[in-house]
Structure 1
Amino acid sequence: MKTKFKISKLLFIISICTVCLGCNKTTAQEKPNIIIMMADDLGYGDVGCFGNKIIETPNIDQLASDGVKFTQFYAGHPTCSPSRAGMMAGRTPFRNGVYTYIPGNSCVHLRDEQVTLAEICKKQGYDTGFFGKWGLIGDMEDKSQPSPNDQGFDYWLATHNNAAPSHKNPTNFYRNGKAEGEIKGYSSQIVVDNAMEWLNSRKDKSKPFLLVLWFHEPHRKLAQPESFTKKYEKHGEIAGEYYANINHMDFQIGRMMNYLNDNKLTDKSWITFTSDNGPKDLAGRSTNGLRGRKGSLYEGGYKVPTAMYWKGKLEGGKTINEPLVFFDFVPTFYDLFGMKPMSQDPLDGVSMLPVIEGEKLNREDPPVWMAVKHMAIRNGDWKVYAYFEDYTPGTSFQSYLKTRKIEKYELYNLIDDPNEIKNLVKQNTETFEMMKQLVNKRRMNVQEDMKRWEGSGILPYEVATWFNENIPPGKVFKKLPAKEQDLMKSKQ
């Protein structure tokens, strides 16, 4: 009798332990390595698997062929720094005060209290490494601003913004907080070289890792080996160099993929390739017919070519058409690890796991994209593109951002009209009223969460000129008259 009781008790304890272990989405052995590769200013139609017939991108295409292509994937913003903040923190970047790209010597940065992808992974025992264009700090030399190691990365090699003076032999990389000086080679090659060296150097290779590779390519100023440039000479200097630059980045991605294959890491990893925003309006850049370019909240400005591979989950060359966004990465990580959020700050995304596992996505609030002059939301097939009322020069710009209202609306059905040709505000009044309420609800929600900056360089020079015609051409911020510096400096 006692023996049976002990056996029953033991079985009960085992069953309870099994249930508790099941509370996490993954066990220690199942945790995938996570690799996120991101291009800079790459258009929706600039790779082969998204329709480009000129640029050779066999390695990105192979990732899509082995894995899954996402046709409705959106960046966090139509410009670089806010988009990166959106991915890293899971929040529309205006909540974080990252309004546009962060210029040098700016007070703007991704605030330290924001919980990042790397911090979530570190909580789960991951090694974390970052390589490439950080774009989330105003000054690499300013120790009061959080660098990648303060945001959860064990090891990093990064630039503040773009590779300088070009992608060839860049001089502006910092390694774990120390300036490197000139590094021989090309930016994407340097990023991949150092990523592989870091992976080789890890002491405990049984631990999972987060590897973030944010390439500088194909953002200008472009440079790549001559063999790639010659291949596209017939397309002219501007377009040809762009094609060559993307081809070379793809070649370096191939080196990274070969490393993962050789070290039997590919099938233990969730691998993503994407872009931070759409392309500039220059020769050779393609959105595959989508309206808008970098800086615009029309689809071409922030719908980005995205492919993922994850053995058993994202494979087989399938296509997923569900709208997803950079903000969804953070909630997905929490869901993957069975974690509660590490902060009470509102998130603007949802877990992608249901879509990855072939189920329906549960998105209660539509994602919101806010920019300096306009904003957008997408709700199912419908999208509102909204324009803010004008800013009055000489008043507090930050107060304007926090209180401004929408002045004009456009409404599009993205399934019937993916290129946003037909504004349906007048034809679909009932839908428009519903979307108008949604976009204003999201606007007020974000504005209530915004915090002020105390310092200079809140807006880059060229963005400041959008709002004040009297700013003299060629002037730098610190030389502007005091009354104009409110564009960069908050007024109490």
Structure 2
Amino acid sequence: MKNLLLTTTCLAAVSACTTSEKPAPEIKPNIVVIYLDDLGYGDLGAYGATGLETPNMDALANAGVKFTDGHATSATCTPSRYGLLTGVYPWRNKDANILPGTAPLIIDTAQVTIPKMLKKNGYQTAIVGKWHLGLGDGIVDWNQRVSPGPNEVGFDYSYIMAATQDRVPTVYIEDGYVDNLDPNDPIEVNYEQNFEGEPTGKDNPELLTMKWHHGHNNSIVNGIPRIGFMKGGEAAKWSDVDMADHFLAKAQEYVRSHKQEPFFLYYAMQQPHVPRTPHPRFVGSSGMGPRGDVIVEADWCIGEFMKTLEAEGLLENTLVILSSDNGPVLNDGYYDEAVEKLGDHQPSGPLRGGKYSLFEAGTRVPFITYWKGKIEPQVSDALVCQLDLLASLASLVGDEETTTDSQNLMDVLMGKSANGRESLVLEATSRTALRQGDWLMIPPYNGPAVNNQVNIELGNSKEFQLYNLNDDLGQQNNLAESNPEKLEEMKETFVAIRGKEYSKTQALELK
């Protein structure tokens, strides 16, 4: 009996020892993508800005990986957001253009997306902020649940604006339902014609608190003329000056209520897109007018959001990725002194072009990864793209999911490798160009060289353009004629990537 007790005791001890030696299950990291709107490469102090103070975004850059060659997939918003969430080049989808507020959803509900992939791996998923990827199936009744939308492509929770701050409907939508909608005051939206008796920016300038410059002269909401016509929904209309605070509160609330489980939050901020409407406490904070003020406001919001992660004990287990959907623009439809008060500030930094452009400033944007205790502070010159977040995050959580275009650059994003993409096709309003190493090749395109409304060089030329960005970051020296071998090499790569999607006319130009 004594031996039996001894044996049992020993077995129990061995069992306890074995159990205690089992490694604890790995805790999946939270993932936050902070996505700004029209923020330029040169708009952050960490990227060389001297006229603007952005201490909170600078802190992330200085404590994480600051990429000097990080790109959106497009020089405009909808295509970039499509590429980020799906890992697919936006030029593969003919509908991935700047959308009106009534456009149908352009992401197929059967398509792989970042939130769908992460949800499959045990994550709660949410979007707070700007959506602009279409809603519904083409005919939307804003007074009922609007579907399909973010919830149908992988987001468990969504709190969004339908399109952009300058487009109707000017309401928030929570999980498909217009927030605070009065059923006795239904919403009507039309992008073709106005509703009888409704004032517009064009016909009623006396009602405006913000003057339109081009394209923004339809329905007036909060004294601001918008794109498109809207009637009703008075109780549901947002307050422009409170929008940044509103989205911040929703993002903070989501973090606090989901801190016990791994989550993915796509925090899609509206700044510094037009109309620029800083809260009164930020008015005059930059000395550059509303555009500078909303960048300062956005920086404050990011600081407050990071404080929330810290207060909830989540910093050490949260990967934060910060970037912008495209390059900068000053006058984008309203008179708001963005040009007049710019001073010496250079929103594009040393780059040429801006929003809508095939030159580098169209897609090269601030790109930062931060993870306290996991990522060592460093500057990386690797070529990276938002397109690659899907495959990279899949690798992070142990999923093999990927798409045709997304590449696994997780080691690069973590600062463990300097080997980024070898090539990347960039897009601007349906035109495409090729990055390969330090080289940029822009095929011939018809059209104006400059968009005079916004005063940005578009990259159009009747000749091929070839730039070595290592020697000529400002793209002043076209090497197409002096480097014919390199040009031919890049033409071949370009056609190989574009494949059947590349039009016959353009393909002929490349021969």
Give the TM bin, normalised by the shorter chain. Answer: 0.7 to 0.9
How many pairs are equivalent? 401
Contact 2:75 2:427 (C-alpha < 8 Å) held by counterparts? no
Which of 160, 163, 187 is residue 161 of structure 1 equivalent to?
A: 163
What do the CA deviations read for 1:302-321 (whole angstroms, capped 9, x no partner)? 100122211344233x1011
Q: Distance in 2 between matches of 1:334 and 1:299?
A: 28
Residue 382, structure 1, aligned to residue 446, structure 2 = no
Aligned residue in 2 for 1:481: none
Q: Which amino acid aligns with 2:48?
A: G
Matches within 5 A, 1:66-77: 66-77=63-74
Contact 1:355 1:361 (C-alpha < 8 Å) held by counterparts? no
Residue 221, structure 1, aligned to residue 275, structure 2 = yes
Residue 190, structure 1, aligned to residue 252, structure 2 = no
Aligned residue in 1 for 2:298: 249
CA RMSD across the alignment: 3.0
What do the CA deviations read for 1:206-250 (whole angstroms, capped 9, x no partner)? 311101100011100011122321234xx4xxx411111110111
Residue 331, structure 1, aligned to residue 391, structure 2 = yes
Aligned residue in 2 for 1:269: 318
Q: Distance in 2 between matches of 1:38 and 1:434?
A: 34
TM-score (norm 1): 0.75
Aligned residue in 2 for 1:412: 467
TM-score (norm 2): 0.72
Displacement, 1:145?
5.5
Contact 2:244 2:269 (C-alpha < 8 Å) held by counterparts? yes
Displacement, 1:383?
1.3
Aligned residue in 1 for 2:352: 291
Residue 199, structure 1, aligned to residue 259, structure 2 = no
Displacement, 1:339?
1.8
Q: Distance in 1 between matches of 2:167 and 2:437?
A: 43
Aligned residue in 1 for 2:190: none
Contact 1:67 1:314 (C-alpha < 8 Å) held by counterparts? yes
Greater Rg over alpha carbons, structure:
2
Q: Which amino acid aligns with 2:310?
A: N
Displacement, 1:200?
2.5
Q: Distance in 2 between matches of 1:152 and 1:28?
A: 25
Q: Distance in 2 between matches of 1:357 and 1:255?
A: 26
Displacement, 1:354?
4.4
Sequence identity (%): 32
Displacement, 1:108?
5.6
Q: Which amino acid aligns with 1:273?
A: L
Aligned residue in 2 for 1:114: 111
Displacement, 1:201?
2.7
Q: Which amino acid aligns with 1:361?
A: N
- Tell me the SS of whatever aligns to 1:376: strand
Q: Distance in 1 between matches of 2:276 and 2:116?
A: 33
Q: Which amino acid aligns with 2:98?
A: Y
Contact 2:43 2:49 (C-alpha < 8 Å) held by counterparts? yes
- Tell me the SS of whatever aligns to 2:464: strand
Displacement, 1:95?
1.6
**Shift in alpha-carbon separation, 1:443–1:407, aligned structure 2, 3 A:** farther
Displacement, 1:351?
2.5
Which of 300, 306, 323 is residue 361 of structure 2 equivalent to?
A: 300
Q: Distance in 2 between matches of 1:231 and 1:68?
A: 28
What do the CA deviations read for 1:239-287 (whole angstroms, capped 9, x no partner)? 4111111101111111101101111111111011111000114423610
Q: Which amino acid aligns with 1:315?
A: E
Displacement, 1:362?
6.5
Displacement, 1:438?
0.8
- Tell me the SS of whatever aligns to 1:319: strand
Q: Which amino acid aligns with 2:242?
A: Y
Contact 1:324 1:352 (C-alpha < 8 Å) held by counterparts? no
Contact 2:121 2:399 (C-alpha < 8 Å) held by counterparts? no
Displacement, 1:446?
4.1
Q: Distance in 1 between matches of 2:483 and 2:439?
A: 11
- Tell me the SS of whatever aligns to 1:422: coil
Contact 2:382 2:421 (C-alpha < 8 Å) held by counterparts? no
Aligned residue in 2 for 1:212: 266
Aligned residue in 2 for 1:128: 125
Q: Distance in 1 between matches of 2:30 and 2:250?
A: 17
Which of 285, 308, 318 is residue 259 of structure 1 equivalent to?
A: 308
Displacement, 1:374?
2.2
Displacement, 1:423?
0.9
- Tell me the SS of whatever aligns to 1:347: coil
Contiguous gaps of at least 5 residues in structure 1: 1-6, 22-26, 391-405, 449-492
What do the CA deviations read for 1:381-432 (whole angstroms, capped 9, x no partner)? 1111123568xxxxxxxxxxxxxxx974211111111111111111111111
**Shift in alpha-carbon separation, 1:334–1:31, aligned structure 2, 3 A:** same
Contact 1:336 1:353 (C-alpha < 8 Å) held by counterparts? no
Contact 1:187 1:215 (C-alpha < 8 Å) held by counterparts? no
Displacement, 1:445?
5.0
- Tell me the SS of whatever aligns to 2:149: coil
Structure having the higher helix fraction is 1
Displacement, 1:31?
1.6
- Tell me the SS of whatever aligns to 1:128: strand
Aligned residue in 2 for 1:356: 414
Contact 1:374 1:385 (C-alpha < 8 Å) held by counterparts? no
**Shift in alpha-carbon separation, 1:139–1:240, aligned structure 2, 3 A:** farther
Displacement, 1:165?
7.5
Q: Which amino acid aligns with 1:186?
A: D
Q: Distance in 2 between matches of 1:70 and 1:335?
A: 20
Displacement, 1:443?
2.0
Q: Distance in 2 between matches of 1:368 and 1:230?
A: 39
Displacement, 1:51?
1.1
Displacement, 1:156?
0.9
What do the CA deviations read for 1:320-370 (whole angstroms, capped 9, x no partner)? 11010011101101221232226xx51243423245252353746x22123
Q: Distance in 2 between matches of 1:297 and 1:263?
A: 42
Contact 1:332 1:350 (C-alpha < 8 Å) held by counterparts? yes
Which of 127, 148, 151 is residue 149 of structure 1 equivalent to?
A: 151
Residue 369, structure 1, aligned to residue 426, structure 2 = yes
Matches within 5 A, 1:465-484: none
Q: Distance in 2 between matches of 1:165 and 1:381?
A: 38
What do the CA deviations read for 1:114-146 (whole angstroms, capped 9, x no partner)? 211101110110111110000111559367863
